[in-house]
A and B are shown apart, each in its own frame.
Chain A
Amino acid sequence: MHRNELGFWIAVAVVLAGLTVPWFLWGSATVVAGLPVWLWWHVGWMGLASVVFWVFAQRAWGIGIESTGDDGSSDGRVGGPGRTREPQTGGDSP
């Protein structure tokens, strides 16, 4: 289950990076509203990327990095003054 989810997000990352440049519009010079259509695609795609990153941060943050086992090695380091800490991992409020 966890592996599938990791694979899904890796695929998402590859697609996001792969279509940032609209390769299928190569050579196209169509202009819409004063800008080349490939530039509009890029602007829209970056907006989409932003939404995808936000969803990732809410739903899957920590995947592939945080260890899943609940071994309680809670705090390896003495905190400096004024250091904030998240109350817990995963699924926190924005």
Chain B
Amino acid sequence: MRAVTLQLTIIVGYLLIALAIGLVAYRLTERTAEDFYLASRTLGTVVLLFTTFATLLSAFTFFAGPNIAYAQGPEWILVMGLMDGIIFAILWYVIGYKQWLLGQQYGYVTLGEMLGDRFGSRWLRGLVAGISLVWLFPYVMLQQVGAGTALEALTDGTVSYELGAGLITVFMILYVVAAGMRGVAWTDTLQGAFMLVTTWVALLWVLATVGGPSAATAALASSPDTAGFLSLGSSYYTPQWMLSTAITIGFGVAMFPQVNQRFFAAGSKAVLKRSLALWPILCVLLFVPSFMLGAWAAGLEVAIPEGANVLPLILDAYTPTWFAALIIAGAMAAMMSSSDSMLLSGSSYFTRDLYRPFVDRGLSDSREGLLARGGVAIFATAAFVASLFQPATLFELGNAAFSGFAQLALPVLLALYWRKITRAGITTGILASQGFYMASLFVAAVPGSYAGWSAGLVGMGLGLLVTVVVSLVTSPAADEQRAIYFDGLGAD
């Protein structure tokens, strides 16, 4: 019981600190929609880097990732490094810098708004927002499920799943509604730094106890079950699978609303430049320790029951209770920093790209800010309620969200760089790849894997092909603004 009290004190204390930061940010917040969504485009290097980083890392880094490394070996580090450290970094420039320039020039706040303006189509704008919300909502729900489950497991059921998930939801609504992007970015910075530090302390602590990395690796090599972990590749980690995963998730990340929207929020060009160079380093710093802990755990004599999370059990065995609780708080931080940003972006996609163009075109700026805050509360509450019922369809959608978002990436890239693309081309390209990918999930006749390559990757190729072919055979609509992504850009 004392352990439970200590654990709860640490976690609630952590939540209160996050809330306090949100309230400080609130004092600086202006009552405009742009400030609420984008902190008036003023984020500096550290804050932008960490808020994007913390946003990327869901509970996966702490739970599912180490679990996979425990069961299959540490090659996931390479997949993570390729997707987040290299592919996403390149997209950070190719998509991110261009979007940032366009945002500076035309005041865009969402991806749908940017595309809708170029192609002269509010339907395209609504389509992109609608598709994004379809993938986003279940993903938010998964984070709440994760938080509720982790709290319940940590406290041996003293805090029920409903109470845990509900508590996290209420805290998030409070600071997101109060402080918008500035509050989210600041708490993310705290959460990102916290995750990085606790992961390294955990690694060093466990290694000091077991006799260093050589001893831990030797333990892995000496067991017939895990000796194969040290050689690169396995029947699980095939080249096709590693590449499919890294490419779809890397591109998917760039289209995730909360990440994509950060492309508009940078304070200056220098911020984007510095962040680019720091990406690969940050990935190595976080993924190597957390995934190696998972892999090394397989050689340690700690009983891991089927289906349990590896990292908390290892910490329980090798570190004091308070430290294990800190790591769980770190995992909570990872979930919250992803969810808070998703709530904010989901709400902005809804108000700007669906409500404003289709319901009330004359919406004033201050009313929009108000509506956006209401949207956050409704979105979070709905996801919480859904998480209580845990419908199977939503689980499937949430788990497939990265590949779902990846389907948007290539048509968007073409729109940014290819002058011949037409409204009909991008619209059919998006619909075809989304339709194909959805079918691969829910229609038994459409397989999920093609000679080892995932349906997500095949769908991306299909979207690219359809966009190009349809663009070539159609002519642009009269109200398309074909030059605005090219002329005078960055010549300030």
- Please list the residues of chain A having a beta carbon within 8 angstroms of any beta carbon in chain B: 13, 16-17, 20-23, 25-29, 31, 33-36, 38-39, 42-43, 46-47, 49-51, 53-54, 56-58, 61-62, 64-67, 69-77, 80-86, 88-89, 92, 94
Contacts and interface: CB of A to CB of B under 8 A. Distances in A.
Nearest to B266: A84
A92 B491 contact: no
Interface in B283-315: 283-284, 288, 292
B183 interface: no
B269 A28 contact: no
Contacts of A54: 276-277
A60 to B, nearest CB: 10
Nearest to A14: B90
Contacts of B268: 84-86
Interface in B24-51: 30, 32, 34-35, 40-42
A39 B77 contact: yes
Contacts of A26: 232-233, 239
Contacts of A81: 30, 40
B489 A67 contact: yes
B448 interface: no
Nearest to B212: A34
Interface in B87-138: 87, 89-90, 93-94, 97-98, 101, 104-107
A72 to B, nearest CB: 7
Given A71-B488, A80-B40, 5 more contacts: A17-B87, A34-B214, A36-B231, A46-B281, A46-B284
Contacts of B452: none
A86 B267 CA distance: 9
Given A20-B86, A67-B491, A31 B280 contact: no
A35 to B, nearest CB: 6
Given A47-B280, A81-B40, A20 B85 contact: yes
Contacts of A42: 77-78, 81, 284
A13 B101 CA distance: 22
11 contacts: A13-B90, A20-B78, A27-B233, A29-B221, A29-B230, A34-B215, A36-B230, A36-B231, A71-B488, A84-B267, A89-B490
* Interface size band for B: 35 or more
A65 B281 contact: no
Contacts of A62: 97, 490
A85 B85 CA distance: 27
Contact of A67 (B78, B107, B488): B488
B280 A89 contact: no
Contact of A35 (B35, B213, B227, B486): B213
Contacts of B492: 74-75, 85-86, 88-89
B86 A31 contact: no
B367 interface: no
Nearest to A63: B93
A71 B487 contact: yes
A46 B280 contact: yes
B72 interface: no
Nearest to A13: B90
B151 interface: no
Interface string B218-262: 000100000100111100000100100000000000000000000
The 7 A-B pairs of least Cβ separation, nearest first, read: A34-B213, A66-B490, A73-B488, A29-B231, A57-B273, A54-B277, A34-B214
Contacts of B242: 21
B275 to A, nearest CB: 9
Contacts of B488: 67, 71, 73, 76
Nearest to A75: B492
Contacts of B86: 16-17, 20, 46, 49
A81 B35 CA distance: 10
Contacts of B489: 65-67
Contact of B232 (A25, A43, A66): A25
A58 B276 CA distance: 11
A22 to B, nearest CB: 7
B278 A50 contact: yes
B78 A76 contact: no
A76 B30 CA distance: 23
